[in-house]
A = this chain, B = another copy of it.
Amino acid sequence: MTAIHLDDIKPGDRTRSSRVTVTEAHIVWFAGLTGDFNPLHMDAEAAKANGFGRTIAHGMLTHSLSTGLRSAIDDWAILAFLETRRRFVGPVFAGDTVHYEAEVAEVRPSASKPDRGIVRVAITVKNQRGETVQEGEDVLSIARKEAQA
């Protein structure tokens, strides 16, 4: 595997991730990991009145899952994950299958560190019907190629 450096990434580059089916097991696991047992996610009876009629996955679960999906971004020479934001625009239910579509919005060498730069990526998470469930942006620190002699 050849790492993809800042110099290889261009605004407008697009990638599409692998998919994952969000299951009841993910929701229970995430609740146990984080301690977020909000009735929206855990209480089917209460959820009958939540506007969707059933429990929904934690927005942060889908957000977290999206950061683990395989894509070309995995081959980037990532030094750090600097920033993330998401709008939770549609519900994800157990049984839904999600992926993300990403487009590079900005590539900028670091002003202070010549060995790296910043890449901003617009992220759209979609379900199996192509409906957008989350949208936002991730910002990563990416290594530059080593200076040539």
Contact = CB atoms under 8 A, between A and B. Distances in A.
A87 interface: yes
Contacts of A26: 33
Contact of A88 (B40, B51, B83): B83
A137 to B, nearest CB: 9
A65 B34 contact: yes
Q: How many copies does the complex hold?
A: 2
A44 interface: no
A32 to B, nearest CB: 9
Contacts of A58: 67, 81
A85 interface: yes
Nearest to A25: B33
